[in-house]
Chains A and B, each alone.
Chain A
Amino acid sequence: MTLKKMNQKGFVVNTIVLACLFFLLALLSNTGAGKGNFFRLVLTPSLWQCGYLIILATSLNMVLGFMGQLSLCHCAFMAIGAYTAALMSLAFQRAGVFKSPKGAVFILIMFLSILCGGLLAAAFGFIVGIPALRLKGDYLAIITLGFGMIIVNVINNLPFCGQNGLAEGSAGSSLYKNGLGFGMKTKVTYLWVAILLTILAVVMMFKYVRSKFGRAIQAIRDDEIAAAASGINTAHYKVLTFAYSAFFAGIAGGLYACANGSISTSSFAFTNGGILNSTFVVVMVVLGGMGSLTGSIVAAVLMFFVNYEIKNGAWVAMLPSGIQGIFKYPMLVYAFVLIVVILFRPKGIFGDYEFSLVHVREDLAKHRALKAQEKAEMKGV
């Protein structure tokens, strides 16, 4: 089989599986199973959160894993997306275009708001990227850290971003009104939106890193001088990728606005106690494997699951009280998970391996052969 045929086969198989998964969940959410308490209160909100965490982690992986540039302001791009989507939909709602989250008009406005959130985030990514990407390593990390704080502080001081939104409110307050902000039942109804957008975003990022752009940024990661000498316009590719990545962070923000009734900048700031802050997204990428989009997906779901179970799992109450004490301080558990992974798999869970349904059997066989060879060599020595 030629490489091209292999790729085509993989494309078809993966598309079919994803489509089946999508329709299964969409069906589930609109039939009897969707009415259950567990589905409505536990599974659906979890899927929404996993959706935006997956998009956020994979979008950072493009910059950090594939391009080798550390960005600490992805949550700020997400905040831009979230505020844009929330305020735009609110403006439509106030103008009377839709009253309740139902109907074709609403769906159109929802997608439009989320898309605009992404585009505005991309524009800011472009503006931030031009000066920031002239720097490298630690300096880049510091300047993106600064930009992240600047963006959050600017949002804090915009009078239309506070209280009841638009003209009704003062700066510095959380945004209590949101045109999207789905309730429990609406979240079930529109679960397909979260899943569709997550799949679309990940596919678009896959297409990007597999294209000539992707090869160019991987060349930049491996050796910037060599890449420039081979005729790659490094500044151009860096800024483009940064803006593309910020676009998806903005989309993740749009999903966040759908999943949360109120938005506050403290949720995107460094001091946020939950798993949604820029450093934690970096942790997800490192944990999953830098340079593996599927790894980021697994890590995002894993981190979400650990975080959710620590706080809400029924099994925690059954543990002896000494161990239960640790779970009162979730940050200790994250640190522990990270230490274990870094010690035993410094490359992250997936390294730079991409999981694919077509290749999984051959990859496993290859892996086993490699291990056997290593063992034989060890014996030989």
Chain B
Amino acid sequence: MKKKVLSVLLAGIMAFAMAACGSSGSGSSASSDSSGSDSSSSSSGDTIVIGSITPNTGGFATAGLACVNGMDLAVEEINAAGGINGKQVEMKHMDDQMDSTECLNAFNSLVADGVSCIVGSLASSNTSAITDAANEEETVLITPASTADSITTEDDYVFRACYADSFQGAIAAAYAKQQGYTDVGVVYCAADTYSKGLYDSFKTACEKYGINIAAEESVATMDVQDYTNQFTSMVNAGVEFVYAPFYYDSVGPYVIPQARAAGYTGIIMGEDGYDGTQGYVAEGTDLSVYNNVLWTNHFDPSGTEGKVPAFTKAYQDKFGEDPISYAALGYDCIYMLKQAMEKAGSEEASAVRDALADTSEVYDCVTGKFSLDETGTPVKGAVIIEFYADGDKISTKLKDTVDELPDS
């Protein structure tokens, strides 16, 4: 019996220690949580409660936590500057574990607590689980990063701060056209929503621009570790421009080094999932292989225009790392809500919704200066970022800015 009690105690201590280690990494966000923990009730009185739903644990936690950081930073700035409509703002962060049921549960408990404006969630598959509920419960929902085209429709309570899938793939195609490539290749994953969606929009745009897809290869899953055969066939097809929509954790260690090892020297074009590749480079890799890699992104963290430098600096000071695009998008969502609430002069969901639905309103945000179209999707451009070997690390630089797609 003693042994059993002792082992339970040990297990408890271990769990506690792991949690303590984990939370010290994101200690700054924990402290900002606790600041508002005593008034847990709804947005009565002199505070406005904004809910958030992001994947803070599980496979997509890096993005979720960055988004939470971005939102906390925005709220801190707003509160320091006097709040919204004279009221202080308080965040209520929920975790959806990258699962649609958990996402719906989180949404329900936020609404049950009287929250009328919610930011979330990141993955399109999770956000689509709560869009109908948001309309039915008349709750404003702004998603930072759900790019699936079907998320927002006309005349509803759902808006977003990012561009849609059909735009991002098309930018890559437009860039290929602009640079004069007539034959391109694609390496993608047919079994993944994100990769497949981008492939579809890239292909459609290529047809529109008269670009020939000379070779296309697919891999089984997004965490495949061998891309040699795919890029060998790109070399055999003789293409000099390959679109490869994958995530940073496979791009860094596998896709790019193996493509170069297979003899492919042309341009590798990616999407916003390349953000974070710098942290996933294998020890001892010749960094020159990362030259000639381009990717489309929501903003350029080292940019010098608009609100970008101020945001990057504030983020670095508070969290000690460079902001990734999810952080910027979370930050923008809060400022979009602020602007809508101030325009409406109230925090009522229906008034905020009407303010956001106004297509003439211009939002000056970190990820660009834009207005929302009839469906609630921003009309904004994208930036094309390039990697380059910078001594013993990889740096990024702005290659091009695309404000709108060319017609042909």
Residues 259-303 of chain A, each 1 if its beta carbon lies under 8 Å from chain B, else 0: 111111011000111101000000000000000000000000000
Interface size on B, residues (CB 8 A): 59
Known: A37-B112, A172-B196. A312 touches B19 (CB 8 A): no
* 8 Å CB contact of A311 from B94, B112, B128: B94
Known: A170-B196, A267-B99, A344-B4. A42 touches B108 (CB 8 A): yes
Chain A nearest CB, measured from B282 CB (Å): 23
Known: A274-B101, A308-B105, A311-B106. A173 touches B19 (CB 8 A): no
**How far is B223's CA from A271's CA once the two chains are assembled, in angstroms?**
12
Task: Check A181 against B132 for contact (C-beta < 8 Å).
Answer: yes
Chain A nearest CB, measured from B278 CB (Å): 25
Chain B nearest CB, measured from A267 CB (Å): 6
Task: Check B11 against A273 for contact (C-beta < 8 Å).
Answer: no
Residues of A within 8 A of B57 (CB): 273, 328-331
Chain A nearest CB, measured from B146 CB (Å): 11
Task: Check B16 against A322 for contact (C-beta < 8 Å).
Answer: yes
Known: A157-B190, A164-B150, A325-B30. A273 touches B22 (CB 8 A): no
Task: Check A326 against B95 for contact (C-beta < 8 Å).
Answer: no
* 8 Å CB contact of B15 from A318, A326, A344: A326
Residues of A within 8 A of B23 (CB): 325, 328
**How far is B55's CA from A330's CA once the two chains are assembled, in angstroms?**
13
**How far is B56's CA from A331's CA once the two chains are assembled, in angstroms?**
13
Task: Check B8 against A339 for contact (C-beta < 8 Å).
Answer: yes
Nearest-neighbor residue (CB-CB) of B108 within chain A: A41
Task: Check A332 against B18 for contact (C-beta < 8 Å).
Answer: yes
Chain A nearest CB, measured from B190 CB (Å): 6
**How far is B219's CA from A156's CA once the two chains are assembled, in angstroms?**
13
Residues of A within 8 A of B404 (CB): none
Residues of B within 8 A of A259 (CB): 101
Known: A181-B132, A273-B98, A328-B22. A174 touches B106 (CB 8 A): no
Chain B nearest CB, measured from A161 CB (Å): 11
* B85 contacts the other chain (CB 8 A): no
* B263 contacts the other chain (CB 8 A): no
* 8 Å CB contact of B190 from A171, A314, A317: A171
Which A residues, 177 to 217, have Cβ-Cβ distances below 8 Å to chain B?
Answer: 181, 183-185
* A333 contacts the other chain (CB 8 A): yes
Nearest-neighbor residue (CB-CB) of B111 within chain A: A41
Known: A170-B196, A173-B196, A176-B128. A326 touches B150 (CB 8 A): no
Residues 114-154 of chain A, each 1 if its beta carbon lies under 8 Å from chain B, else 0: 00000000000000000000000000000000000000010
Residues of B within 8 A of A41 (CB): 108-109, 111-112, 137
Which A residues, 313 to 343, have Cβ-Cβ distances below 8 Å to chain B?
Answer: 314, 317-318, 321-323, 325-326, 328-333, 335-336, 339-340, 343
Residues 208-247 of chain A, each 1 if its beta carbon lies under 8 Å from chain B, else 0: 0000000000000000000000000000000000000000
Task: Check B108 against A262 for contact (C-beta < 8 Å).
Answer: no
* 8 Å CB contact of B128 from A37, A262, A318, A323: A262
* B168 contacts the other chain (CB 8 A): no
* A89 contacts the other chain (CB 8 A): no
Residues 79-118 of chain B, each 1 if its beta carbon lies under 8 Å from chain A, else 0: 0000000000000001101111110111011011100000
* A49 contacts the other chain (CB 8 A): yes
Query: Which of B112, B133, B148, B197: most chain A CB closer than 10 A?
Result: B112
Residues of B within 8 A of A45 (CB): 104-105, 108
* 8 Å CB contact of B125 from A184, A262, A335: A262
How many CB-defined contacts (below 8 Å) exist between A and B?
165
**How far is B192's CA from A264's CA once the two chains are assembled, in angstroms?**
11
Task: Check A183 against B125 for contact (C-beta < 8 Å).
Answer: no
* B402 contacts the other chain (CB 8 A): no
Which secondary structure characterizes the binding site on chain B?
helix
Residues of B within 8 A of A261 (CB): 104, 128-133
Known: A176-B150, A330-B57. A317 touches B19 (CB 8 A): no
Query: Which of A170, A274, A335: most chain B CB closer than 10 A?
Result: A274
Task: Check B129 against A260 for contact (C-beta < 8 Å).
Answer: yes
Chain A nearest CB, measured from B349 CB (Å): 14
* B58 contacts the other chain (CB 8 A): yes
* B224 contacts the other chain (CB 8 A): no
Residues 47-60 of chain B, each 1 if its beta carbon lies under 8 Å from chain A, else 0: 00000000111110
Nearest-neighbor residue (CB-CB) of B98 within chain A: A273
* B321 contacts the other chain (CB 8 A): no
Which A residues, 73 to 87, have Cβ-Cβ distances below 8 Å to chain B?
Answer: none
Task: Check B191 against A172 for contact (C-beta < 8 Å).
Answer: yes
**How far is B124's CA from A261's CA once the two chains are assembled, in angstroms?**
13
**How far is B15's CA from A322's CA once the two chains are assembled, in angstroms?**
11
* A163 contacts the other chain (CB 8 A): yes
**How far is B40's CA from A155's CA once the two chains are assembled, in angstroms?**
42
**How far is B19's CA from A321's CA once the two chains are assembled, in angstroms?**
11
Task: Check A325 against B20 for contact (C-beta < 8 Å).
Answer: yes
* B12 contacts the other chain (CB 8 A): yes
Residues of B within 8 A of A308 (CB): 105
Task: Check B105 against A317 for contact (C-beta < 8 Å).
Answer: no
Residues of B within 8 A of A331 (CB): 57
Nearest-neighbor residue (CB-CB) of A314 within chain B: B40
Residues 187-205 of chain B, each 1 if its beta carbon lies under 8 Å from chain A, else 0: 0011111011100100000
Residues of A within 8 A of B7 (CB): 339, 343
Chain B nearest CB, measured from A34 CB (Å): 15
Known: A163-B150, A314-B113. 5 other contacts (CB 8 A): A153-B220, A173-B148, A260-B101, A325-B20, A343-B7
8 sampled A-B residue pairs with Cβ under 8 A: A41-B137, A45-B108, A157-B190, A259-B101, A260-B129, A262-B125, A332-B15, A340-B11
Report the 7 A-B pairs with minimum CB-CB distance, sorted nearest first.
A273-B58, A273-B97, A274-B99, A174-B125, A312-B109, A264-B125, A325-B19
